[in-house]
Amino acid sequence: MIELEKRMQAVLDEISEYLAPDTEGNVRELLVHGEAGIALELLCTQLVEFDIAIPMKIKEQLAVFAEDMGMEVSELQELKAFTGVSRDGFY
């Protein structure tokens, strides 16, 4: 599971600009403590609750994480995503 947590940390690094600092901190803390599933659920819930759009490639990666953990995260279907250029010129 450590590899998955590292991949989730990398994704979190990519989307941290879209998140409230407390959300990012809570997700990171869960990952450090080996709670990747809860971290994923929290992240997706917060993205939906605050109506935050993320890059499509990140949404796809979150879905892969859920699949890798054998989870069904209903909020993944509700996540808004965009394609194209992000605020910093990447994606």
Overall domain count for the chain = 1
CA distances 34 to 1, 5, 66, Å, are: 8, 7, 15
Domain extent at residue 8: 2-82
Which pLDDT score, from 0 to 100, does residue 2 have?
87
Nearest to 74 by CA among 62, 83, 82: 62
> Tens place of pLDDT for every residue, the chain, 91 residues?
689 999 999 999 999 999 999 999 999 999 999 999 999 999 999 999 999 999 999 999 999 999 999 999 999 999 999 986 655 555 4
d(CA 75, CA 46): 9
pTM: 0.88
Residue 90 belongs to a domain: no
Task: Centre a 10 Å sphere on the Cβ of residue 62 and count the other Cβ atoms it contains.
Answer: 23
Bridge partner list, 82: 55
Which pLDDT score, from 0 to 100, does residue 84 have?
67
Residue 89 belongs to a domain: no
Longest dimension (CA), the chain: 34
